[in-house]
């Protein structure tokens, strides 16, 4: 009968300590962020270059929007 239950004296060493909820939440968030990055750049050789191009394109679009609004070259509405 002693074969079924080994000595429980060393069982405390085998217990895995669960991190507190805040640490666990942070770890899960980091893992999710990492997975999203991996899937977003899947098949891309240089993800940094893609990110730079995307940011530059956004800046160009933003500048174009600012220029067209302040330049007055857009459509003019006539009332009356």
Give the pLDDT confidence of 26-47 residue by residue, as tens digits. Answer: 999 999 999 998 887 788 888 8
Q: Based on the structure, what is the number of domains in the chain?
A: 1
| Mean pLDDT for the chain overall | 80
Looking at the domain assignment, is residue 2 inside a domain?
no
Looking at the domain assignment, is residue 7 inside a domain?
no
What is the reported pTM? 0.40
Looking at the domain assignment, is residue 45 inside a domain?
yes
CA-to-CA distance for 39 and 54, rounded, in angstroms?
17
The arithmetic mean of pLDDT across residues 14-34, rounded, is 89
Q: Would you state the structure tokens that stand for residue 40, as one six-digit string?
A: 């977003």
Give the domain range for residue 58. Answer: 22-66
> 70 or 42, which is more confident?
42
Looking at the domain assignment, is residue 59 inside a domain?
yes
CA-to-CA distance for 71 and 80, rounded, in angstroms?
24
């Amino acid at each position: 009968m002693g074969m079924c239950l080994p000595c429980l004296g060393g069982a405390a060493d085998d217990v895995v300590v669960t991190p507190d909820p805040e640490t666990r939440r942070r770890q899960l968030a980091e893992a999710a962020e990492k997975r999203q990055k991996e899937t977003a750049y899947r098949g891309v050789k240089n993800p940094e270059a893609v990110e730079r191009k995307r940011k530059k394109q956004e800046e160009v679009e933003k500048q174009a929007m600012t220029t067209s609004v302040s330049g007055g070259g857009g459509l003019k509405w006539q009332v009356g």
